[in-house]
Amino acid sequence: MRIVHVAPFYYPVIGGVEGVVKRIAEHMAERGHEVYVITYNRLRRGGLDALSREEVVNGIHVIRLKPDFIWAHGSYSSELPRVIKSIKPDLVHVHVWRHPHVFQIAKLKRVMRLKAILHGHAPFHKISQLRTITWIYHRLADLFGRGYLRMYDLYVALTPYEAKRVTDIGLDGIKVIVVPNGISEDDCIVDPAVKKEHQVLYLGRISMSKNLDLLIKAMSYVAKDVSKVELVLAGPDEGLVGDLLRYAKKKDVKAKYLGEVYEKQKHRLYLESSVYALPSLYEPFGITLLEAGIHATPSVITGVGGQLYAAPPNKASLWAKPNPKNYAKAIAMLLTDRKLREKLGQQARKWAKMHTWNRILPKYEKLYEKLSL
């Protein structure tokens, strides 16, 4: 089968969506399929035309289109239909609802009679997580673009929450299937002695959408109740980390930023941290919550969205109201109550092991085969 994935970004750009696309694409290539990824020749911040136009990465034919224009994480390229026609795919797997290529492929589907899956990735962020113009665009796309949703053969939702949201927009529920994100199998031996009892970790993009101001403000309260507490931040910076660290210093919060980290260092950070903090008001899924969980590290979350699935409250996490005092109280509770921390950590590990890629990826192969019949 010749399969094309269309995604806003792809390796070497790092992120949750990019990781999922890479996993699915490489799995299908290993299974003997011919797999392409069409994306855009840009980085999240700048880097226009900085990457190769075409290359083969781990068996995947990657084609990076030149955008006609870009905004935030959005890109539009008039090249897309021509490139799709030249490949003549059996199936197109389109990623991220509302992105311009969603509408381009929907129109092309009629002409080429393509089989097409829309993998929404749950982009239902709060207005405070987005620029105002982006938020307005989202509302307009949901209002006027629902007809394009119905053109796809199938919609893949990450969680039941997303399935309900997209059904409410106007998509027939029969065409929606829930397939959660996966994580790598990890056979590490979790030793409580390795945990640094005062270490709180945030690992992910240092982005406006992650609501890290709340975490820094909360840590100023935690520091009053838990001596020697330290906050570790890691992940690609989108221009915010300097302000966050200055605020932490002003509030006498011990904090450090490690920059972008990779597998070996991520593994160590998850293992040695006592608490993983994800303060987003909304997460499409929250893959880092499962990554922390498989290392028996419980989380503190807030808000509504995929985080409630990835780290169920009172099972793999503590949920707190999105204000500094309440969020701080939950962090301090895990830091000071070792029995609770270990209980939630073991439950988080059990939950995470139900979402390893070897369980998730075969579901996509079955979907593809069913659609190709």
Average pLDDT estimate for 260-267:
90
pLDDT > 70? residue 187: no
- State the pLDDT confidence band at 15, using cuts at 50, 70 and 90: confident
User: Which amino acid is residue 247, in one-letter code?
Assistant: Y
The rounded distance, in Å, linking the Cα atoms of 141 and 122 is: 14
- State the pLDDT confidence band at 373, using cuts at 50, 70 and 90: confident
pLDDT > 80? residue 224: yes
Residue 117, phi then psi, degrees to nearest 5: -110, 135
Residue 318, phi then psi, degrees to nearest 5: -110, 135
Distances (CA, A) of 119 to 9, 156, 175, 359: 14, 5, 12, 18
pLDDT > 90? residue 343: yes
pLDDT > 90? residue 305: yes
* Cα dihedral across residues 104, 108, 110, 116: positive or negative: negative
Average pLDDT estimate for 130-137:
85
pLDDT > 70? residue 242: yes
Cα atoms in the Cβ-side hemisphere of radius 13 Å centred on 1: 23
List the beta bridge partners of residue 70: 75
The rounded distance, in Å, linking the Cα atoms of 132 and 115 is: 35
Assign 183 to helix, strand or coil: strand
* Domains of the chain and CATH, by start: 2-182+356-372 (3.40.50.2000), 192-353 (3.40.50.2000)
pLDDT > 80? residue 172: no
134 contacts: CB under 8 Å, gap ≥ 6: 71, 72, 74
210 contacts: CB under 8 Å, gap ≥ 6: 202, 204, 278, 279, 280
**Mean pLDDT over each residue of the chain, to the nearest integer:** 93
Q: What percentage of the chain carries pLDDT values higher than 70?
A: 99
More reliable by pLDDT, 146 or 296: 296
How would you classify the pairing of strands 74-76 and 69-71?
Answer: antiparallel
